[in-house]
C-alpha cells in the first residue's frame, strides 16, 4: 500500500487546493448562518472527487520529506510483531476455537479442534510456528479463511460469524465497501459448500434460532439507525423474511441476541437514556416475544438469565435506584421494578457496567476511581456468596472479561493490559482463586516492560474538578528535567471510556523520547455516570475545557511544552480536537483529527442524515431548541474557525464513512485555509476506499498509522531521531 492516497496527476501541486466559496444561508431562531463550502457534500460529483484527490496530492507533497521515516516506522511495527501467531483457544460446545495469523497475510483465519477431555478446562497450546499450510493443533478445522474471502477486494471487514446450535452451519457477514452494510452467507461445515441464501444490507452479524433452520438479523433505515429485526428461514428469499420487530421511534435502535445457556432469545430497543427488552423462552414452542418491562423514560436496564439456589431468575442491571446502577434479581418472566430484589445495591463510588452469569458464579464488570474491575460473586446451594475482586499489582491498568461462552465453565477468561504491558490473557479459577497467565502478546526486538514507566496524574479543571490522566514514557526520560514531547489523546463522549491500552506502533514514539498520555475528560465514563452527564448536552463545554486544562497542567508541571505537545482524537474525539484548537491554539504544536465530527451543528440540524435523531439525547436538538442551537453554535469547530494562527493540523477521513461523513473535515480544512492567519499548515487525507474505521488489513493499518506517527514526530521535532 502506498504511504498516502494516489493522486490524479503525476505533476506535484504548487500550492494547497483552494475550495471555491459558494455561500448558502439559512435563518433559524432569529440568526442567519452562512456556509461557504456545503457544496462539498455532493459525494458523487466529479468536482468534489477531484477536490479530494487534489487535497491528497497536496498532503503527499507536503509530507514527502517524511517518506523515509514512514517506511522506518512501518518496518519497526512489523519487526516488533509476531506475524505468524494465534490466539488462546476458547472452549464452547465441545470445541476449542482460536484464531491464526500468518506472515505476509493481511487477515487471519478462524479455526477449531475437538475437546478431548470434557473435564479438563486447560486450553491446548497450539504450535505458534506452524506454516499457513500446516495445522496448529491435531485435528484442526479451518472455519473461515479471511484472506480467501477478501481476495479481489480493496476493503474487507468481517461483521461477525455464528455457528448453528447443531454445529452444521456457519453464517458469516462481510463488508467489502466500508459502509457497514454487510452481506450474510451460510456455509456447510461438512464439505464447505455455500447455501444459496444471500441476505444483504445487514448490520453486523446474525443470531441463530435453536431450530437451526433460521436466524435473526437487523437492518438500518435511511438515517443509518438499526430499526428492524428480521427472521430468515433457510432456503427462502430475503424478500420473504419475517419482520419480527420494527422500532418506529427514531430515537431508538434495535438489537437481537441469545442467552449464554441458549434458552432465551432477546430483542432490545434502546435510546441513549432508555431501554426495553423483550424475551422469548425457546423451550416453549408456543411462546412469543414478550416485553419484559415497558420502556420508561430514563430507565436503562440489562437482562442476564441465571440460576440462583436452583431457581431460574433474571439478573437486572438497572439505574432505577441510582445513576451508577444496581444489580437486582427478578422472576424469569415479565416483571415490574417493584419485583426486582436488590443483590448489589447502588453505590455512588462504583459504576456497575455489566454482568455475566454462569452455573457456579457471577462476574460483575465495574469501575471505581477511574479504573476497571472484575468482581466475582460465587453461587452455591444457598444463593449468592460474598464477592471479591480479581486484583493486579500495577496502579494503571485495564481489566475486562474475555470470551466466556460456556454456561458451565469453572473459570473466567479475562484480559489485562496497561500502557506498558502488552495485552495479556488469563484464566481465573473461581474455585481456587488462582490466576493463570495463558498468553501475553509477544513483542519482538528486545522489548522489556521494565523499560517504561506509567503514571496516573490528576489535573485540576477550571471548575475545580479533578481530571485523571494516564501517561507512559521511557523510564528515566525526565531525569534531565526537560519537558518531553507528548502526544495527548482524548475522546469524551457517549460514556465511552478510553482506558489504558498497549500499542506496538506507539513504541516507536516512546523510544524516540516522547510520552503518550490519555486525558480522561468528562463525557466519557471513566469516573462513573456523573462523569458522562457532566460532559453532554448543556454540559458539553466541560469536555473541551477539561482537555485544555489537562494540556495546561502538563505544560505547567514540566511534563511537556506547547511547541512539542501534539493533540489527537477521532470521531467525537475529532470534535474535541476542533473545539480545543479554537479555544487554545497556542497550547499545541500540532493536532491530528481522525474522521472528525467537526461540522456538528450542520449535522445535528439535518434529521435526514445518518444517526442525527438518535443523537439528540447526547448533543440536543438545535432545530427545535434555540438554547441548544446557541450552545452548539458556540463550540462547533467549523462554525468557530477564526483569523488566528492555528498549529499544524492533519485531518484524516474516509470517503465511505457512514458515521462521520467525509464532508465535515473537507469543509473544515477549506475554511481553515481561507480564514486562519500565520502558518496555515493544514492537511486533509482521504482514504478513497474505506469507512469509519479506516483501511482494512493489518499491513495497510500499519502503513496508515506510520503516516500519522511520522507527521506527529515531525511536529515534535523528533522526525530525524532513530
The count of C-alpha atoms lying within 13 angstroms of the C-alpha of 384, restricted to the half-sphere facing its C-beta, is 22
Rounded Cα gap, residues 438 and 426, in angstroms: 5
Angle at 182 between CA 178 and CA 185, to 5 degrees: 135
Provide the 8-state DSSP code for 213: S
Rounded Cα gap, residues 660 and 647, in angstroms: 23
Q: Coil, strand, or helix at residue 666?
A: helix
Q: Which of 585, 575, 595 is nearest to 680 (CA)?
A: 585
Rounded Cα gap, residues 181 and 343, in angstroms: 40
| Strand extents, DSSP E, 555-705 | 565-570, 590-594, 649-654, 682-687
Q: Coil, strand, or helix at residue 48?
A: helix
Cβ contacts of 663 within 8 Å, gap of 6 or more? 40, 41, 43, 599
Cβ contacts of 152 within 8 Å, gap of 6 or more? none
DSSP track, 667-719: HHHHHHHHH--TT--EEEEEETT-BTTB--SHHHHHHHHHHHHHHHHHHHT-T
Q: Which of 368, 357, 452 is nearest to 404 (CA)?
A: 357
CA distances from 206 to 192, 231, 244, 399, 681 (A): 19, 10, 14, 28, 46
| Strand extents, DSSP E, 135-181 | 141-145, 157-163, 169-175
Pure H helices in 396-455: none
Give 188's strand partners.
Answer: 169
Distance from first CA to last CA of the chain, Å, rounded?
23
Q: Are 159 and 204 in contact (CB under 8 A)?
A: yes
Indicate which residues carry an active-site annotation. Answer: 571, 657, 692
Rounded Cα gap, residues 27 and 426, in angstroms: 58
List b or e across 571-591, with b for residues whose CB sees 16 or more CB atoms inside 10 angstroms.
bbbbbbbbbbbbbbbebbbbb
Place of cell 428492524: 228
Rounded Cα gap, residues 667 and 656, in angstroms: 16
Provide the 8-state DSSP code for 106: S
Burial of 153 (C-beta count, 10 Å sphere; 0-12/13-18/19+): middle
What kind and span of H or E run contains 583?
helix 572-583
Rounded Cα gap, residues 348 and 49, in angstroms: 51
Amino acid at each position: 500500500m502506498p504511504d498516502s492516497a494516489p493522486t490524479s496527476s503525476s505533476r506535484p501541486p504548487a500550492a494547497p487546493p483552494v475550495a471555491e466559496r459558494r455561500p448558502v444561508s439559512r435563518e433559524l431562531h432569529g440568526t442567519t448562518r452562512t456556509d461557504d463550502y456545503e457544496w462539498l457534500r455532493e459525494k458523487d460529483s466529479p468536482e468534489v472527487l477531484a477536490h479530494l484527490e487534489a487535497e491528497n496530492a497536496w498532503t503527499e507533497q507536503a509530507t514527502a520529506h517524511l517518506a523515509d521515516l514512514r517506511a522506518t516506522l512501518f518496518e519497526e511495527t512489523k519487526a516488533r510483531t509476531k506475524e505468524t501467531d494465534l490466539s488462546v483457544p476458547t472452549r464452547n460446545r465441545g470445541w476449542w476455537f482460536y484464531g491464526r495469523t500468518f506472515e505476509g497475510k493481511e487477515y487471519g483465519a478462524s479455526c477449531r479442534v475437538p475437546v478431548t477431555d470434557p473435564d479438563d478446562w486447560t486450553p491446548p497450546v497450539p504450535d505458534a510456528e506452524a506454516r499457513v499450510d500446516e495445522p496448529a493443533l491435531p485435528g484442526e478445522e479451518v472455519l473461515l479463511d479471511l484472506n480467501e474471502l477478501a481476495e479481489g477486494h480493496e476493503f474487507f471487514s468481517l461483521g461477525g460469524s455464528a455457528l448453528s446450535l447443531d454445529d452444521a452451519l456457519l453464517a458469516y457477514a462481510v463488508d467489502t465497501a466500508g459502509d457497514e452494510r454487510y452481506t450474510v452467507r451460510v456455509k456447510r461445515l461438512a464439505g464447505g459448500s455455500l447455501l444459496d441464501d444471500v441476505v444483504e444490507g445487514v448490520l453486523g452479524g446474525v443470531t441463530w434460532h435453536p431450530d437451526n433452520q433460521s436466524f435473526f438479523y437487523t437492518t438500518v433505515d435511511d438515517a443509518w439507525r438499526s430499526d428492524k429485526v428480521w427472521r430468515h428461514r433457510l432456503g427462502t428469499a430475503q424478500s420473504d423474511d419475517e419482520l419480527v420487530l420494527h422500532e418506529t421511534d427514531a430515537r431508538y435502535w434495535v438489537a437481537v441476541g441469545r442467552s449464554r445457556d441458549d434458552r432465551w432469545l432477546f430483542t432490545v430497543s434502546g435510546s441513549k437514556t432508555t431501554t426495553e427488552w423483550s424475551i422469548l423462552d425457546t423451550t416453549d414452542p408456543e411462546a412469543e416475544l414478550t416485553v419484559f418491562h415497558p420502556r420508561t423514560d430514563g430507565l436503562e436496564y440489562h437482562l442476564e438469565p441465571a440460576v440462583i439456589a436452583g431457581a431460574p431468575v433474571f439478573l437486572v442491571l438497572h439505574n432505577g435506584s441510582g445513576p451508577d446502577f444496581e444489580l437486582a434479581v427478578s422472576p424469569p418472566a415479565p416483571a415490574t421494578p417493584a419485583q426486582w430484589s436488590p443483590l448489589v445495591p447502588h453505590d455512588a463510588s462504583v459504576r456497575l457496567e455489566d454482568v455475566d452469569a454462569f452455573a457456579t458464579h457471577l462476574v460483575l464488570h465495574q469501575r471505581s476511581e477511574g479504573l476497571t474491575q472484575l468482581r466475582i460473586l460465587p453461587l452455591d446451594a444457598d444463593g449468592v456468596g460474598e464477592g471479591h475482586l480479581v486484583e493486579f499489582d500495577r496502579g494503571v491498568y485495564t481489566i475486562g472479561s474475555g470470551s466466556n461462552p460456556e454456561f458451565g465453565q469453572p473459570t473466567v477468561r479475562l484480559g489485562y493490559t496497561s500502557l506498558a504491558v502488552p495485552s495479556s490473557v488469563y484464566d481465573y479459577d473461581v474455585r481456587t482463586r488462582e490466576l493463570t497467565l495463558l498468553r501475553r502478546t509477544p513483542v519482538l526486538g528486545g522489548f522489556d516492560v521494565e523499560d517504561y514507566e506509567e503514571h496516573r496524574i490528576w489535573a485540576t479543571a477550571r471548575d475545580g474538578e479533578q481530571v485523571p490522566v494516564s501517561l507512559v514514557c521511557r523510564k528515566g526520560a525526565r531525569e534531565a528535567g526537560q519537558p518531553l514531547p507528548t502526544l495527548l489523546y482524548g475522546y469524551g463522549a457517549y460514556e465511552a471510556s478510553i482506558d489504558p491500552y498497549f500499542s506496538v506502533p506507539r513504541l516507536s514514539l516512546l523510544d524516540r523520547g516522547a510520552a503518550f498520555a490519555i486525558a480522561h475528560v468528562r463525557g466519557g465514563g471513566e469516573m462513573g455516570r456523573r462523569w458522562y452527564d457532566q460532559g453532554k448536552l448543556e454540559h458539553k463545554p466541560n469536555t473541551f475545557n477539561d482537555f485544555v486544562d489537562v494540556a495546561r497542567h502538563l505544560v505547567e508541571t514540566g511534563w511537556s511544552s506547547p511547541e512539542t505537545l501534539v493533540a489527537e482524537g477521532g470521531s467525537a474525539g475529532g470534535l474535541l480536537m476542533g473545539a480545543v484548537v479554537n479555544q487554545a491554539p497556542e497550547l499545541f504544536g500540532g493536532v491530528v483529527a481522525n474522521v472528525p465530527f467537526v461540522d456538528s451543528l450542520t449535522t445535528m440540524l439535518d434529521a435526514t442524515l445518518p444517526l442525527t435523531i438518535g443523537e439528540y439525547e447526547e448533543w440536543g436538538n438545535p432545530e427545535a431548541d434555540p438554547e441548544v442551537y446557541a450552545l452548539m453554535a458556540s463550540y462547533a469547530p467549523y462554525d468557530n474557525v477564526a483569523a488566528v494562527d492555528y498549529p499544524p493540523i492533519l485531518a484524516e477521513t474516509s470517503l465511505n464513512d457512514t458515521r462521520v461523513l467525509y464532508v465535515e473535515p473537507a469543509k473544515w480544512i477549506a475554511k481553515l485555509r481561507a480564514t486562519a492567519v500565520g502558518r496555515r499548515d493544514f492537511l486533509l487525507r482521504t482514504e478513497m476506499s474505506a469507512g469509519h474505521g479506516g483501511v482494512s488489513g493489518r499491513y495497510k493499518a500499519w502503513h496508515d498509522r506510520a503516516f500519522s506517527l511520522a507527521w506527529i514526530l515531525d511536529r515534535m521535532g523528533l522526525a530525524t531521531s532513530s
